[in-house]
Structure 1
């Protein structure tokens, strides 16, 4: 789940919705796994130049410290993730979101054939970034490849080049469809999201309808009156069954939420030259 808008209590984002991310960690309806208990993480922006991150290898539904923190944290940008391991160890450094400088990154999906591709992908990471990698996941690898290809300057192009490299390396190892991903990344000002898979059958991803429209549709829903006009959610699964509230991000698409307005555009990998 990613939130962008006026500052709001993290508890209202993580625990209050009917089908909150914490509920999804136990009862996912659209995910590959029903239960996501291999750790979790929350990243948010507040004081200072870099975002804060809280991660644990405990299941999200069983962490009392998360509840305590969430009741006191108010933020305009929050990313939260519950994890099901796809083969790498259950350890804090492998929990999302990943952080580098002002940037946060989280990924839902898998790089098929990662074990075979890992060495070549590691060698493609900018040496200046290499020592900052902490974990062993395909998700963090994709983040550092995007950073290598210029995430800070042009997120759309950087992620396209990172995905193009993974597909190119995958082909050399006989991996037919190496990339399965939905991604959210932010610098604290704007939020970028991506939905793509090599087989054109990606995991689910939704964005919320404008709050003014939802208020007109559902004047009886008190929670909508409390949200700011610039509120945007991007989620793997809807947080509440509310007619007109959620829009599916199209297959092979990328989007941006932030200053200057929102946009959705087609997404295609850029093969390395």
Structure 2
């Protein structure tokens, strides 16, 4: 499994989350605590938003702890929104195109989890990607396939519904070939203005996800960046988090995706506001 960090708020230097904390993302790349695999050495990547609508992207196949360029970028770049990821492959090769985050246009996406039996259903899954979007299929991961499927299902118009439909579509393919678990999905995606994150699994073992809120902004992580864990709120399974500069909400995810519920461009889904931590 993989580890990741996402930030939205006042601009902060990426090193404040990637390398400086006691249990930073770089530390997690060689000593993760909340996942089956403690070592996440199959690549690293960051996506950040600045003056342009599309994200800047840096990726490398080296482990995060041995990537000096990552440290330099993290030290020099301050951004109001960024996503960072260290990878532990569930089967696909260690290559630049398989490293997260993935990006198309204004969207960036990163994932921790798996589509069950993806090696057997990859061809069918790729056939479910919209033809105009398939040109962005650079790698071979199940994660990128989920992302591109969601883009074709209306990610621009309805970010949560489209992602839920993509997850259900790939999960259904896994179920048809008897793969278990069919889906494990803890993921974060952004258009540069809003962070979306969701935690879901076909079984009882949804990969971990936590958030922390402050006056400066919202931090969403796959596991806490410190050892005490007291200031972190665990996101329940089958739940999504939506964060903007002004609002924060927690909503159900995958509760009912039998039919699309597409909202108008720019409209936020109905949410339950959350206050506190």
TM-score (norm 1): 0.90
- Structural mapping, 1:70-85, within 5 Å: 70-85=74-89
> 2:149–2:166: 8 Å Cα contact kept in structure 1?
yes
Distance 1:83 1:96 in 2: 7
User: Using a 3 Å threshold, how does the CA distance of structure 1 residues 41 and 193 change in structure 2: closer, same or farther?
Assistant: same
1:261 lines up with 2:274 in the alignment: no
1:40 lines up with 2:26 in the alignment: no
Unaligned runs of 5+ in 2: 261-277
1:100 lines up with 2:86 in the alignment: no
The offset of 1:175, in angstroms, is 2.2
TM-score (norm 2): 0.88
Residue 270 of structure 1, aligned match among 238, 257, 260 = 257
Match in the other structure for 2:14: 10
Match in the other structure for 1:158: 162
Match in the other structure for 1:203: 207
Match in the other structure for 2:58: 54
User: SS at the partner of 2:148?
Assistant: helix
**C-alpha RMSD of the superposition:** 1.5
> 1:205–1:249: 8 Å Cα contact kept in structure 2?
yes
The offset of 1:132, in angstroms, is 1.2
Distance 2:33 2:253 in 1: 26
1:238 lines up with 2:242 in the alignment: no
> 2:115–2:171: 8 Å Cα contact kept in structure 1?
no
Unaligned runs of 5+ in 1: 212-228
The offset of 1:242, in angstroms, is 4.2
> 2:53–2:192: 8 Å Cα contact kept in structure 1?
no
Distance 1:109 1:167 in 2: 12
